[in-house]
A and B are shown apart, each in its own frame.
Chain A
């Protein structure tokens, strides 16, 4: 049972455009929602994270939007650059006695010049 659904599976964006990746979750006990970025041959690296008490968090060109009632959150990459080409994973962490992250299946982003 996949508890975090991520879409799209792959995304091609022109340089300078906005990349948007969406995730939806089912478990209302989730209380921490990070995004990880993974380059080929590397491990995932924490990019940005949000807690459900805020609706938006911005760090540089990266923004998380969070909709608690819809149980959805998304990553927006503004002014996308070829160096942003990577696989992005959303994840969720439960506050109810569980310590492991549940990951979405990932989105492969390609930013073309």
Chain B
């Protein structure tokens, strides 16, 4: 168990809908990272927050947004969902801004139908 908790584990929704994925980092970790994992693209970095502030952005679509709350948990919001958004979404956390010791959650499997 990495100590990173992601909910829900599975999510099935229809195209055009909006969903929210939640991540609770390991106790004491200040950085949260979101990754998307699909079969053809591997693990793609989406966005990083450190102590409530956005620190880095990767290939995150404009339909996607995230935030980190004062208690350090983070939410990834995906809207206007398309079939191609079906993937595993991972959250990782680390103490420092630079994730040399990042710990991953078990992921949320999103299926868009």
Contact = CB atoms under 8 A, between A and B. Distances in A.
B107 interface: yes
A44 B99 CA distance: 14
B48 to A, nearest CB: 6
Interface in B27-45: 31, 33, 41-45
Contacts of B31: 99
Given A34-B100, A45-B2, A104-B42, A99 B55 contact: yes
Interface residues on A, range: 20 to 34
A58 B110 CA distance: 37
20 contacts: A36-B104, A41-B106, A43-B90, A43-B105, A45-B2, A45-B104, A46-B101, A49-B100, A99-B31, A99-B48, A99-B56, A99-B97, A99-B98, A99-B99, A100-B45, A100-B48, A100-B56, A101-B45, A103-B43, A103-B44
